[in-house]
Chain A
Amino acid sequence: MTPKLTPKLATLLVLAALIALTPFFFPSGYYYRVGALIFVNGIAVTGMVILIGYAGQISLGHAGFAGIGAYACALAPVHWGLHPALAVVLGAGISAVLAFLVGRPVLRLKGYYLGVATLGLGILVSMVLNNERELTGGPDGMEVPDLGLRDLLKDWGLNLSNGEFWYFFSGLCLLIGAWLALNLYNSPTGRALRALHGSEVAARTVGVDVARMKLQAFIISAVYASVSGSLLALQNKFITPDVAGFMHSIEMVTMAVLGGVGSVLGAIFGAGILTLLPQLLTVFADYEQMVLGIVMVLVMIFLREGLLPSLLKKFRGKDE
């Protein structure tokens, strides 16, 4: 490595190369779909890095924000004639406001109490989406309008299949998201957040406004989750309240922690593994759930810092 190659730049380059080069090895269009899902999950998980990895807080309800982002894209274009792209922004805005409003009281809580409070928050959102049938279509879900960007690109002479378009578009969004997160890491806010993760009391004594910092991390991660939900809705063009469900919240946390919540690349790696795993495990059919459970347990016991950091450490250890 040359000294000029900062970790931030290295991360972005690795990510960009992966996004750009793997399609050359795709045997069929189905792989674009899996790739796009990894990137969409990767965006949500990057938010979890900021919340869990930087600020040391947990949330068992972030799927609620994904639900808000997803349904903003489904509802706003139909009811207010808003362009789907603006609906993404609207969803992110609503998520940020909600996170701001509930963040202060909720973030005073610690550990499992924070867990149950965020869990309740997520469940409330998913309950509204399930029950307000007139508006959201209830558990059967509703259709989401087309983003229209693919047609626009076609007019400009760039003809992509639906799968290809969503692969590259989600990949680009993930790159931007990762870039912002990495910038935050090196900013004064990021340093304050990491101080807080080390020890809240110590951070407070050196003059960090702990409550404000936690709140910021919570809001930013909510926006990431919301955008991820929006992209999922736009890609699938159909959305059900499952997107806001408890299992999706758990999935986000698991992806981040499994991959390595200390770094953006690690967490995205986790998103990749957990998105691919069910696809690979179809081989095991009936044993799928058992294998998934075992993998989660083993990684957490033996690779505590997450898959990617632990593997890298082992790799380097052998070199030296």
Chain B
Amino acid sequence: MSELLQFLFSGVTVGAVYALVALGFTIIYNASDVVNFAQGEFVMLGGMITWFAHEAGLPLPLAALIAILATACLGVAMNKLMIEPARGAPVVSLIIITIGASIFIQGAAQLVFDKQIHTFPAFSGDTPFRIGGATILPQSLWVTGGALVVFVGLWLFFTRTMLGRAVLATSNNRLAAQLVGINTGFVMTLSFALSAAIGALAGVLATPITLTAYSVGIGFALKGFAGAMLGGMGNPKGALVGGFAIGLIEALTAGYLSSQYKDAAAFVVILAVLFFLPQGLFGRKSTDRV
């Protein structure tokens, strides 16, 4: 029993990180139909900039704030310089553009910072909570809480605010959105800023657990992408469920089956789900335009 509980805690810890990354994918996808493979680099920057600023003597909360703001600015720049000019390009070109951006950011990070592994102190210490014979770190609760707060915030944003609906409208039909007076350029800028900020937040919350280095981005991007697709791209609920599901599948497979093939289990589940639900668990139904 305590064993199962520990596996679940492990899964929740990892799943919360994936969910946060997946939520970041959701926003940009909703606004522009682009899956941003550089999303993982935002996570990396969140961790690395916080570490760098903290190391330079700034208090941790301030360092984290700077990291989130700086990454949001970078997100906006990425939209203006790379995504806007490529409007209308096919999916495969957009994939290459965002992967190119990811390689570029990685290259820049290893120059600006370094190639070593770093971390900073956990927010509420390292003394684990003990529940039913299993343990969970306070920082895991921070990450989980962060994922839930971001999810609720996004859900409210997309369903309850004019701006959020404007984002969705832009994604559904850009031209129509412009015709009803939505400033689609602003919507795009906002989406990238928000998405990058959430990515950086994920990095800030997760680094005391996962550690960080210039090269960690691509791993986060892959798992977050998988989580978002499992849940159904574009739906915050899907991103949250998908992220946590992959974390839990990995932990339970490692616990009960084989730790070597735990990543395989996650992808087998994704393939199986897509076989029955080609749009993921909560994805939008798409109709072909002829």
Which residue numbers of A lie inside 8 Å of B, CB to CB? 52, 58, 60, 105-106, 108-113, 115-117, 119-121, 123-124, 127, 131, 199-202, 246, 250, 253-254, 257-258, 261, 286-297, 300-301, 304
Contacts and interface: CB of A to CB of B under 8 A. Distances in A.
Given A290-B104, A292-B103, A293-B102, A127 B263 contact: yes
A201 B286 CA distance: 14
Residue with the highest number of chain A CB atoms closer than 10 Å, among B111, B260, B274, B286? B274
B222 interface: yes
Contacts, number: 131
B157 to A, nearest CB: 23
Contacts of B108: 290
A163 B35 CA distance: 41
Residue with the highest number of chain A CB atoms closer than 10 Å, among B94, B103, B229, B267? B103
A75 B272 CA distance: 30
B128 interface: no
Interface string B94-108: 111101111111111
Interface in B3-46: 35
A58 to B, nearest CB: 5
A105 B273 CA distance: 11
A99 to B, nearest CB: 14
B93 A293 contact: no
Given A296-B96, A297-B104, A116 B229 contact: yes
A123 B279 CA distance: 21
Given A116-B226, A292-B100, 15 more contacts: A60-B95, A105-B275, A110-B286, A115-B91, A119-B225, A120-B226, A121-B271, A123-B263, A200-B288, A246-B218, A288-B107, A289-B103, A293-B103, A296-B99, A297-B101
Interface string B74-92: 0000000010011001011
Given A120-B267, A202-B290, A300-B97, A293 B86 contact: no
B200 interface: no
Contact of A301 (B97, B225, B278): B97
Given A113-B229, A287-B107, A124 B99 contact: no
A69 B274 CA distance: 27
Contacts of B82: 297, 301
